[in-house]
C-alpha cells in the first residue's frame, strides 16, 4: 500500500495564540510534519501572532524548540526543519488592542487561501473576528479555526456563534473537536457505510447496547483552574463523547459531504431523551499515598466538580428505541484507553443446548491505544467433549494490517488543519450541532447545581465509582474492562 499525499493550495495560516501551549505541542509540530510530507508547498506561510515581543527570528527559535520537544520523537532531516522555519513569521498583536493589525494585513497575500486559527481563550474570539473585519482581512475566502471549549452552556455558545456570524459565514467556520480528526474515528464511518456486513444489523433489533469509554490515567495536571470550572461533563462528554455517539448512531448520510454528515449527527442529538438523574453517576478521584486527590489537586477543598461521569442514554427514534447507550469518561482511571463496543444480542435460540453457554458478538473499535478493531466471534472450542463454544476475536490492529503505512497516518491536528486549507468542513462541528449538544447538557448540569450534588469518591487506578458499575449491573449488563 502506498501513502498518498494530496497537495493543497498555497496558504497563509495565522495562529493567534501562536506562542501558547497548544501551538507549541500540537499545531506547529503538525504543520512541520505536513511540510515534511510535501503537503505544504513553497509559498505557504505560518504567521504566529500574540502579545509577546518577538520577531520572525525569535518565533523560528520558539518553533524549533517546540518541534524538538514535541515532534513525536521521529527522526527528521535538520535541513527540512530549517526550510520549514523559513516559512514562519511573527506579528506582535493584542486581540484587545489596535497595534499590529495593520502590519498583519500588509503581510497577507491577496488571493491566497488565508486561515486564522483562534488558539486563544474563547473570550477573545469575538474581539479577533471584529478586528479581522475592521482591518480588511475578513474576506469571503478567509477561514476561521476555533478551538474548544466552544462555550460553557447554551447561552455562551450562542453568544459566540452570534459574534462570529457578524463577520463570517458558517461555511467559513471550522470548530475543532480533535476527536473527529482521529483516524479510527473516521474509520467508524468507513466500517459502517463501506461494508454490507454491519449496517443491516446496526439497530435495536440486533444490538443489545453500545458502550463508549474514554479513560485517562492522568489527573487534572496543570489545568486545575480551568478544569474545576468545567468538569468531565463539559470538558469531555458534551463534545468528544457526544461526537462519537453521533457517528455510531446516525443514519447513513446520502453522501460524505459536510452538511449531509452534520445534518445526520444533529438529528441524533435532537433525538436524545432527557437523562434521568438515576441514570448518571458522577465521581471525583481520591488521594493516594503518593498523589493528591482531586480537591487538593485543584486547590479547592469543597469542589463539587466531577472528574468522572457515566450515564445511560436513550435515543428516541426507530433505529434505536430500546437499545441503551452507556457512556463514561474520567481521569486517574485504571488505563488510558478510548473504545466503543457494539454489543450484539444473543442468538434467539441456542441449538447447542445450555452447556454451550451464552455468547454474543461484540464489535470493539479501539480509538487508542493500539488503534484498530476486533469482532468477537463465537466458534467451537477445539477438541473432543461435545459442542462447547468459545468467543475469539477477529482482530485488526491497524499497525499490523497496514504495515509501515500505519506509521505515516497523520495525527488529528495534521488532518484537520489540511482540511481547513482544502475547505472541507466534514470533520468540524457546525454551530447548530454545538448548540444542540449544549441544549441537551444544560439541564443535567443545572440539576446538579440546584441539588448541590456531591460526586462520589473513587480510587486512582480503578474503573470509577462503584455506582457506575451498578448503572449497568442493574440492567443485567457489565462494562468492558478498562485496560490498555
Ligand atoms: P495558553 O498556553 O494560555 O496560550 C494562550 C495564547 O494566547 C498565548 O500565545 C498568548 O500569548 C496568547 N494571548 C493571550 N492573550 C492574548 C491577547 N489579548 N491578544 C493576543 N494573544 C493573546 O493557552 P493554550 O493552552 O495554548 O490554549 C489556547 C486555546 O486552545 C484555548 O481556547 C484552549 O481552551 C484551547 N485548547 C487548548 C488545548 C491544550 O492542550 N493546550 C487543548 C484543547 C483546546 P501572549 O501572552 O504573548 O499574548
Q: Specify the pLDDT at position 99.
A: 94
- Please give the distance, rounded to the nearest whole angstrom, from the Cα atom of residue 12 to the centre of ligand 1: 20
Residue 292: CB partners within 8 Å, gap ≥ 6?
A: 219
Closest ligand 1 atom number to CA of residue 121: 32
Ligand 1 pocket mutation pick from 15, 18, 21, 47 by most atoms within 8 angstroms of CB: 21
What pLDDT, on a 0 to 100 scale, did the predictor assign at position 307? 98
Question: Cα(248)–Cα(240) distance, rounded to whole angstroms?
Answer: 13
Q: Is the CB of 395 under 6 A from ligand 1?
A: no
Q: Whose CA is nearest to atom 1 of ligand 1?
A: 20
116 alpha carbon – ligand 1 mean position (Å): 14
Task: Give the pLDDT of residue 1.
Answer: 47
180-411+429-473 and 11-147 share a CATH fold: no
User: What residues of the chain score a pLDDT lower than 50?
Assistant: 1-2
Q: Where are the domains of the chain?
A: 11-147, 180-411+429-473
Which of 240, 297, 300, 359 is catalytic? The answer is 240
Please tell me the CATH code under which domain 11-147 is placed: 3.40.50.720
Distance 29 CA to ligand 1 centre (A): 16
* 347 contacts: CB under 8 Å, gap ≥ 6: 359
Name the CATH superfamily for 180-411+429-473: Dihydrodipicolinate Reductase; domain 2 (3.30.360.10)
Distance, CA of 170 to CA of 380 (rounded, Å): 55
| Of 291, 313, 293, 290, residue with least CA distance to 303 | 293
| CA gap 107, 105 in Å, rounded | 5
Is 349 an annotated catalytic residue? no
Q: What is the pLDDT of residue 2?
A: 46
Residue-level pLDDT at 405: 65
For ligand 1, atom 22, the nearest C-alpha belongs to 50
User: Ligand 1 centre from 285 Cα, in Å?
Assistant: 27
Amino acid at each position: 500500500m502506498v501513502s498518498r499525499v494530496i497537495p493543497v493550495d498555497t496558504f497563509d495560516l495565522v495562529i493567534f495564540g501562536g506562542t501558547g501551549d497548544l501551538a507549541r505541542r500540537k499545531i506547529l509540530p503538525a504543520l512541520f510534519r505536513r511540510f515534511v510530507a510535501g503537503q505544504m508547498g513553497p509559498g505557504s506561510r505560518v504567521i504566529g501572532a500574540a502579545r509577546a515581543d518577538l520577531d520572525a527570528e525569535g518565533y523560528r527559535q520558539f518553533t524549533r524548540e517546540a518541534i524538538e520537544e514535541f515532534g513525536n520523537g521521529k527522526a527528521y532531516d535538520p535541513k527540512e526543519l530549517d526550510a520549514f522555519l523559513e516559512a514562519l513569521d511573527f506579528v506582535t498583536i493584542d486581540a484587545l488592542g489596535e497595534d499590529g493589525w495593520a502590519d498583519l494585513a500588509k503581510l497577507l497575500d491577496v488571493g491566497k487561501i488565508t486561515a486564522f486559527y483562534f488558539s486563544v481563550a474563547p473570550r477573545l474570539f469575538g474581539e479577533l473576528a471584529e478586528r479581522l473585519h475592521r482591518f480588511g482581512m475578513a474576506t469571503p475566502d478567509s477561514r476561521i479555526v476555533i478551538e474548544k471549549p466552544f462555550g460553557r452552556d447554551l447561552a455562551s455558545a450562542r453568544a459566540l456563534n452570534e459574534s462570529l456570524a457578524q463577520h463570517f459565514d458558517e461555511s467559513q467556520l471550522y470548530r475543532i473537536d480533535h476527536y473527529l480528526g482521529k483516524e479510527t474515528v473516521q474509520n467508524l464511518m468507513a466500517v459502517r457505510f463501506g461494508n454490507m456486513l454491519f449496517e443491516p444489523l446496526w439497530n435495536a433489533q440486533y444490538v443489545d447496547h453500545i458502550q463508549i469509554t474514554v479513560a485517562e490515567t492522568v489527573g487534572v495536571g496543570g489545568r486545575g483552574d480551568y478544569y474545576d470550572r468545567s468538569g468531565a461533563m463539559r470538558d469531555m462528554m458534551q463534545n468528544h463523547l457526544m461526537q462519537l455517539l453521533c457517528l455510531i448512531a446516525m443514519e447513513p448520510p446520502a453522501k460524505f459531504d459536510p452538511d449531509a454528515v452534520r445534518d445526520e449527527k444533529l438529528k441524533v442529538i435532537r433525538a436524545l431523551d432527557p437523562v434521568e438523574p438515576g441514570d448518571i453517576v458522577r465521581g471525583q478521584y481520591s488521594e493516594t499515598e503518593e498523589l493528591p486527590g482531586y480537591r487538593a489537586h485543584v486547590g479547592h477543598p469543597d469542589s463539587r466538580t466531577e472528574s468522572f461521569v457515566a450515564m445511560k442514554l436513550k435515543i428516541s427514534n426507530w433505529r434505536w428505541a430500546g437499545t441503551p447507550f452507556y457512556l463514561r469518561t474520567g481521569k486517574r482511571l485504571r488505563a488510558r484507553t478510548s473504545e466503543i463496543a457494539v454489543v450484539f444480542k444473543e442468538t434467539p435460540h441456542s441449538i447447542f443446548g445450555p452447556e454451550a453457554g451464552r455468547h454474543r458478538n461484540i464489535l470493539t473499535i479501539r480509538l487508542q491505544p493500539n488503534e484498530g478493531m476486533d469482532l468477537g466471534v463465537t466458534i467451537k472450542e477445539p477438541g473432543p467433549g461435545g459442542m462447547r463454544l468459545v468467543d475469539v476475536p477477529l482482530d485488526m490492529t491497524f499497525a499490523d494490517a497496514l504495515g509501515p503505512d500505519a506509521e505515516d497516518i497523520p495525527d488529528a491536528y495534521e488532518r484537520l488543519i489540511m482540511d481547513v486549507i482544502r475547505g472541507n468542513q466534514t470533520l468540524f462541528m457546525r454551530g447548530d450541532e454545538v448548540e444542540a449538544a449544549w441544549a441537551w447538557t444544560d439541564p443535567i448540569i443545572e440539576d446538579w447545581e440546584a441539588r448541590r450534588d456531591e460526586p462520589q469518591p473513587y480510587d486512582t487506578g480503578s474503573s470509577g465509582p462503584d455506582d457506575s458499575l451498578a448503572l449497568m449491573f442493574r440492567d443485567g449488563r457489565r462494562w468492558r474492562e478498562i485496560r490498555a
